[in-house]
Amino acid sequence: MVIEKAREENERQNARNGPDRFMPTQEPDWNPNSDGEIRLLIPESKAIEVRVFMLQDSSKEEQIPEAVDNAVTPLVWASEVPGRSKLAEPAKVTLKPGAKPVRQNQYPIKWEARKGLEGLITEFLEYGLLVECESEYNTPILPVKKSGGKEYRLVQDLRAINQIVQDIHPVVANPYTLLTSLKEEHKWFTVLELKDAFFCIPLDTKSQSIFAFEWESPATGRKTQLTWTVLPQGFKNSPTLFGNQLAKELEMWKKQNQGEGILLQYVDDILIAAESKETCFEMTISLLNFLGQGGYRVSRNKAQIGKEAVIYLGFEISQGQRQLGNERKEAICQIPEPNSPKELKAFLGMIGWCRLWILNYGLYVKPLYEALKESKDQYLTWTPECHKSFKELRKALMMAPALGLPDLTKPFELFVHERQHLALGVLAQRLGPWKRPVGYFSKQLDTVSKGWPGCLRAVAATVLLIQEARKLTMGQKIVVYVPHMVITVLEQKGGHWLSPSRMLKYQVVLLEQDDVELKTTAIVNPAMFLSTENPTEKLEHDCLLTIEQVYSSRPDLKDEPLKDPDLELFMDGSSFVQEGRRMAGYAVVTTDKVLESGTLPANTSAQKAELVALKQALRMAEGKRANIWKDSKYAFSVIHAHGAIWKERGLLSAQGSPIRHKEEVLQLLQDVQKPKEVAVMHCKAHQFGQTLHIPPENAWRAQICLLTEKNPTEEGDIPDEVLDAVIPIAWSSGTPGRAKNVTPVKIQLKPGAQPVRKKQYPIKLEARKGLFGSALAKELEQWHSEYNTITLLQYVDGLLIGSDTNEECLEATISLLNFLALAGYRVSKKKAQIGKERDLKL
C-alpha cells in the first residue's frame, strides 16, 4: 500500500515537473524492516545543487557557557555604546608630497535610503564617532542594504583618499601561514570577533577633516558636512593601524598568561587553542576581562567558546586539521555560470582562495583563464571546455577534504609533477601509518620555462613548489619526491637552457639548503602517492637520454671531444665596428692553418656570423669524425638544445614570436647530419694560449678582421626587437635633436676679459664637450635611478650599458633609447652596438 502511494505520487510529480527537476525516476527504495529509512535517488547532473542544499543550516546564536558568562565583565559584550581603546594614541594620517584636497560631489540618494541611514548617523553623532565640520575635502557615501533587506549599512567611497595617503607597511598576519602555529595536541578552541573594531582607535584631530562627507537630513532637508573622529571603514591603513595596536596590547596579556594554550590574531579575529577544555575556558575568561577593561567590545552573537570545532577566517578548525567552512562552499557553488569577464574574474577570485584544498586546481582553471585572455570588452568566450571546468571546480570544492595542520615537529613529504606547463603537487605528513595531506599546490610555469624539455620543466616545477611549501614548513625538513632526476638534469643539461642567474637560483633552492632532500619516484599521481607506503621506485625513463634524443639536433651529437677524430676544427664569426665602419666575417681554422674564411654582408649580426661559421665547419666535416670548437654560447645552444624544438614549434619562440635567423637555423639542422660523428664544444672567448682546448684565437681573429675590413657596414646592427620597441624619433635624421629639459648654457668670461668687437672666436671643443656632458649626465641620473642594477657609463656623448644577461641589456637599451628620444636627443643608428658580448668600443 505504501509503495503504491509512493509510485502514484512520483508519477504526479514527474508529470508536473520538467525533465530537469531532480525527482526519483525509480520506485522508492523502501524496506519495511529498516525503521522507516527512505533512500532518494538523485541524477548526477543535480548532485551539486543537492550538496549545497544539504550545507544550508538555519543560523542560530552561539550560546555562551554559563561558567564563562558569569566570570567575565558585562562591559566586554557589544552593546549600543561603542568601544574605545584606553591605551591607543590618536592615529595620524600622512598625505603624499604634493597631494591636493579631494572634492567629490555626493551621489543622489533616494529618500528611503537616507531615511534608513538616519538612525545610524544620529547614533554615531550621539556617541562622538561623527562630528560636524567644514572641510575642503569631500567624498561620497553609499547606502548598502543588509542581508535582511530592511536596515542599511553606511559605506564611504574613500578610493580617492587612499590614493593621496602615504602607504604604511602592512604588518598583518598572513592567513596562509597563520595556523601553522597550532599543534596536534590542541583540541579545544575559542573564537572571538571584536565589534566595530576600527572605531576603537581615535583619529588625530588634524587628520579628521580628510574623511569628510556630505549628509542631508531626510527630516529637515538640512545639508551638513560630517567627518570621523575614529578610524573609518574603507580607509586602506585602518586594518594595519588597528591590528598593530591590538597586537601591542595582547602582548601584555600573553606575558601574564604563559601556559599550554596559544593565541592567534588576524586584525580583529582572535583564536584561542588549548589542550583541555578547562584551560580553554580559563584563557577565554582572562582574555575577555582584559579586552573589556581595555575598552574593546566583543560580539556576543559570534563568539564560539570552548568548542572542539570552530569557524575561523572561513576555515573549520578542529584537532590537527582544517577544512573549508560550509558557508564559503555554499556561497561559491551558488554562483551561476558567468556571462562576462568581470563575473568570471569574481568567481576565479573566490575559488582561488580555496585552491589549497583542490587537487590539480591549476588544470581545472586553465581553460577559464584562457577564456579571459580571449575575451574582448564585455564579451566572454564560453566554450564547452569552460563549462566542463566550471562544473568540475564546483564539484571538487564540495568534495574538498580536511587538510592536516602543519606539525612543525615532524618532517614533511612533498610530491611534485609537471603537467600541461603547470607545477602540481601535494604536501603531506605522516599520521601513524598514513600520509595526511597538508595542502595541494598548483603553480603556472613562467613563459621561459614553458619552452624547455619536459624533464627540465620538472626541475622548474620542483623549485616553484619547494618555495611554496616553505611557507607552511617553516624550515622543517622536506623530502621531495619527483618522477625525474632533478639534480642530474640541472647539472648536466641546465647550462644549455638556463641563464646564469636562474641556474644560481635553482642551485640555491635544491642544493644549498639543508631542509630539502630529493628522491626519485615512478609515481605520477598524487592520489597514489598518498596511498603508497614507499614511493621510492626506479624511474621508467632516463632523463638525460630523453633530452638528448628528443631535443638535440641529432641523437649522437656530443658536447665532449671525440677520441682520435679525423678533423679538429676551430671556428668563429664576428661582427663589430672599427673606426666607424662595421666589419663582418667568419673563419674556420685548424691549429696551424686557415681552411676557409670570408666576408659577410653589411647587415650581418654577430649571432648570424657564428651560425654561418658553424655551418661551414659542419660541411667540411661531411663523412668524417670531427671535433668542432667555438666560443659562441648562442650557436652552441642552438645546435645542442634549441634548434630541434624551434623546428618542432614551427620556428617560433616560447612566447610565440618568430625566431631570428630562421633560414640559418634550418640549414644548420640539415648540415649537422653530414658528419659521420661530430662533437661541438664550447670554449671561453678572448683567451690566449697554445693548448688544444684554447686555440690561438688572436691569430684567427686578426685574419677575420683583415678580411672583413674590405666590406664595411653602412648601418649599425640593430636587433629587430629593439627596432620594433623604440620610438622612431630616437634615431638621428636630417632634423637635429634639442634637449627639452636643459636650461640655456651661460658662457662665463675670464676675469678682466676685453670685449671682442670684430669676430667671435669659436668655443673650444673641450669646453663644449664639458658643458654637454654634464647636462646629459644630470638627465641620465633620472633614468638610471629606475635601472640601478644596470651598469651605465658615459663619456661625453658616448654611452655604455652593461648587464648580466642579454635580456636585461636589451630591455635597458630600449628604455634608454625611448628616454633619450622623449628628452629631445638623437642617437646615431650607424654607430649603435646593441646586445653584444664583446668588441664594444666607447
* Contact yes or no for 464/445 (Cβ under 8 A): yes
Residue given cell 575556558 in the structure block: 281
What is the C-alpha separation between 316 and 712, in angstroms, rounded? 75
* Contact yes or no for 716/830 (Cβ under 8 A): yes
225: helix, coil or strand?
Answer: strand
What is the C-alpha separation between 102 and 140, in angstroms, rounded? 11
CATH of domain 406-549: 3.10.20.370
Domain 72-318 superfamily per CATH = Reverse transcriptase/Diguanylate cyclase domain (3.30.70.270)
List Cβ neighbours of 570 (8 Å cut-off, separation of 6 or more): 588, 589, 590, 591, 628, 629, 630, 695, 697, 700
CB-based burial label for 133 (10 Å; 0-12, 13-18, 19+): middle
List Cβ neighbours of 753 (8 Å cut-off, separation of 6 or more): none
pLDDT over threshold 90, residue 293: yes
Eight-class DSSP state of 827: B
Q: Do domains 552-708 and 720-750+760-823 have the same CATH topology?
A: no
* Contact yes or no for 841/832 (Cβ under 8 A): no
Averaged pLDDT for residues 75-102:
91
Long-range contacts of 698-702 (CB under 8 A, 24+ apart): 699/589, 700/570, 700/572, 700/587, 700/589, 700/594, 701/572, 701/574
Helix H or strand E segment including 318: strand 315-318
Q: Could you tell me which of 372, 525, 503 has the C-alpha nearest to residue 449?
A: 503
441: helix, coil or strand?
Answer: strand
pLDDT range class, residue 21, cuts 50, 70, 90 = very low
Quick: pLDDT tens for 409-457. 889 999 988 888 888 889 998 887 788 888 889 898 888 788 777 788 8
Measured from the Cβ of residue 59, the count of other Cβ atoms closer than 10 Å reads 7
Helix H or strand E segment including 6: helix 2-16
723: helix, coil or strand?
Answer: helix
Quick: pLDDT tens for 648-695. 555 556 555 676 777 777 777 778 788 888 888 877 654 444 444 444
pLDDT over threshold 70, residue 169: yes
Averaged pLDDT for residues 231-241:
93
pLDDT over threshold 60, residue 6: no
> Which three cell numbers, joined as nine digits, stand for 345?
574574474
431 or 788, which is more confident: 431
CATH topology of domain 720-750+760-823: Alpha-Beta Plaits (3.30.70)
Eight-class DSSP state of 638: I
Domain extents in the chain: 2-41, 72-318, 324-398, 406-549, 552-708, 720-750+760-823
* Contact yes or no for 26/39 (Cβ under 8 A): no
* Contact yes or no for 431/412 (Cβ under 8 A): no
What is the C-alpha separation between 507 and 498, in angstroms, rounded? 11
What is the C-alpha separation between 758 and 650, in angstroms, rounded? 72
What is the C-alpha separation between 368 and 355, in angstroms, rounded? 15
Averaged pLDDT for residues 586-614:
81
CA terminus-to-terminus distance, the chain:
102
Quick check: pTM over 0.75? no
CATH topology of domain 552-708: Nucleotidyltransferase; domain 5 (3.30.420)
> What's the whole-number average pLDDT of the chain?
78
Q: Dihedral of CA 597/598/603/608: which sign?
A: negative
Which top CATH class is 324-398?
alpha beta
Q: Could you tell me which of 425, 435, 443 has the C-alpha nearest to residue 359?
A: 425
What is the C-alpha separation between 283 and 288, in angstroms, rounded? 9
Query: How many percent of the chain have pLDDT more than 70?
Result: 76
Q: For the chain, how are helix, strand and coil distributed in percent, rounded to 5?
A: 40, 20, 40
pLDDT range class, residue 132, cuts 50, 70, 90 = very high
Residue given cell 527537476 in the structure block: 21
Long-range contacts of 372-379 (CB under 8 A, 24+ apart): 372/341, 372/344, 372/345, 372/348, 375/341, 375/344, 378/340, 378/341, 378/342, 379/340
